Amino acid sequence: MIKRTLYPETPRIPEKTDNAIITEKMDGANLTILKYNGELFIAQRNSIFNKDEVFGDGNIGYRGLKGWAREHWEWFDKYLNDNTALCGEWMVETAKSYPPEVVHEKFYIFATAKVVPGPNLCDFDYYREHVGDAFGISTEFLDISWLGFVPTVARIYKFPDKEQLDDIYDHYCKYVGGRKVEGFVINVNNMIFKYVRMKNGKVVEYSQTGRKHDN
């Protein structure tokens, strides 16, 4: 097992910009599926596991991940391009926080990336329409119904201020039936920023410095 943090810290929203895509920030556990020099790996936030470790008797961390990996390993090994990664949220860890239909796919993709020696990740791409580039065959010929993608909330052409984001958040919560919504991720020219509204399971005012588990 390799001990390394692959996914970088996400910055908070800036004051001004234009042309942004807002997606829901899913409250899952960070998970990456990557192929490096022809070998497939599964990475959690601080650990990277090879095939022998995933299929072995040891614990690879996230609840339900070992069985899911066994079921889909050959698919990823066959179709995922070499030196490419899929980054997302493992939703089984927080399944009780969402309705069953939201976490049905278990793994929600929010980015792709290139894999470089280490292995490490670079050149993150947060556009949903580019995910197909990670595969060696067009996704129209692949069954990807069992893979989730973070929901798109809105596409806007001027970066919203806090009051506008608060309004979008209130309307989106109503749109999804009042279920838990941790917050948003705002993609601006492939740079992302967080707008977080959940803290210790409760909705709070957005804070540029606060974190969801701060006391």
Q: Which CATH class is domain 15-203?
A: alpha beta
Residue predicted with more confidence, 120 or 57: 120
Give tens-digit pLDDT for 13-41.
665 666 789 999 999 999 999 999 999 99
- Assign 213 a pLDDT band (cuts: 50, 70, 90): low
The full set of domain ranges for the chain reads 15-203
State pTM to two decimals: 0.87
Give tens-digit pLDDT for 137-188.
998 899 999 999 999 999 988 888 899 999 999 999 999 999 999 999 999 8
Per the listing, tokens 């919203």 go with 160
